[in-house]
Structures are given as structure tokens and as C-alpha cells.
Amino acid sequence: MVSVLGPLFRTAGHTVRTQHGVTASAGQRRGDIEVRNYLRDQAGSRSLVFDLSIAHDRFGSSSHVQQNGLLTHPQDLDGPLHVAAQRKIAAYQQQYADNQNISFLPAIVSTSTRMHGEFLRLLFLQAHRETEAHFTAAGMSSQRNQSDSFRFKRAAFYNGLKSKVGLAAAKAAALRVNLNVQGCGIVAPPMHASSRTPLLLPLLLSHNLPTPRVH
């Protein structure tokens, strides 16, 4: 996801650092992405660091087979996002605030591609910046923030950003999902196994699926 988000935040002319290029916190930890001088107020400009995390919103532990696939927070679908966000804040926020002119924000999505509220607000701010840049380039800076065309263009940019981030999150989440069609725990074969075909064969035959071709 870092490879997708980095370019997204460069579109409005911001300087973006990723991973090892990110400024370290007081505890020498680094977030995933840093946008230099992104936030501005009366005190001046501050850089923004955010760290990505994918939260699982369903149980997948094979030690509790009866819970596999059930929601971890059925009464609050955003619950996994809040838990993951608090974990990131505890790990990063104060350490950045103590010794750097940097603000920290957790960027959390779930395996179902729900996004944490703070991350959505960041995407909206980025859409606003992109819309301002668009209107300035078109020579219509005097109409910024006031016209229906500005609001419609901002909504389009915002939906585009959410779609791109959602697609990247879905791809990242797919790499973490172990498809279990038999409804019981599956033990992953060791990485050094010479062939996975013998382990897959009983599973494929039980569901009338074609066997893989080994070259």
C-alpha cells in the first residue's frame, strides 16, 4: 500500500518520504509515509507522518473453529479499526510530538476495506488540496471553495482517492487470507517443501476442482 499512497500525496505538489526516508521518532521508530509541511496553522507548518495497518474484522483462529469467519465486533463494525488505531497512537504519537515538529495519524483499513475515520478525513483533506490545485491551474482560483463546480470536483477527487486506496487495501488483504473451504484448520506447508501438490490434492478432489499441472 505504501507504493500506492506515496504517489497519491504527491499530486498536489507535496514532498513525500516513504519507509526508510521517513523521519524517525524519539524512540527511533518510523511511520510508513511522511508528507513534509502538510499541515498549516497560525503556528506555522508541520509535517504529517502516518503508519499503515490492516485490521482483521473476522475471527480466523483455527484453535476456535466455531468462531472462524464470525465478526470480531458484531455490534460495532468499526471496532477493529478503533482498536488498531489506538495501538498505533500509543506506539507513535507521543514519541513524534516530543522531539519533532511532526503530527502523527494512524492509517487503518480492515480486511473488508472499511477505513478508519481519521484516515478518511485525511483523504478528504487531500481531495480538497487537489481541487484547489486544479482550479488554480485552470485560472479559476477566485471561485475556490464557493461554487458548486468546486464541490462537485472535490467529491470526484475524494471518491477517486477512496477507490484507489480501497483497491490497494483489497489486494493487500487478499495476500493475508487463507481460503478454507473445508471449514477446519489448515496448516500451511513449510516454505522449503519441494511440492505443495500432495497437500492440495485431497482438498481439490473433495470439491471436484481440477488438479494443478506441475511443470
The string of pLDDT tens digits covering residues 16-68 is: 999 899 988 877 889 999 999 998 877 788 899 999 988 888 777 656 666 76
Q: What local confidence, expressed as pLDDT, does residue 185 receive?
A: 46
- The closest of 181, 165, 162 to 173, measured between CA atoms, is 165
CA distance linking residue 111 with residue 170, whole number of Å: 7
Q: What local confidence, expressed as pLDDT, does residue 186 receive?
A: 45
pTM for this entry: 0.72
The domain ranges of the chain are 2-177, 181-215
- Give percent of the chain above pLDDT 70: 73
Q: pLDDT band at residue 187, thresholds of 50, 70 and 90?
A: very low
Taking residues 174-195, what's their average pLDDT? 54
What values do phi and psi take at 150, rounded to 5? -65, -45
- Round the average pLDDT of the chain to a whole number and report it: 79
Q: What angle do CA 97, 169, 115 make, to 5 degrees?
A: 55
CA distance linking residue 137 with residue 135, whole number of Å: 5
Q: What local confidence, expressed as pLDDT, does residue 178 receive?
A: 55
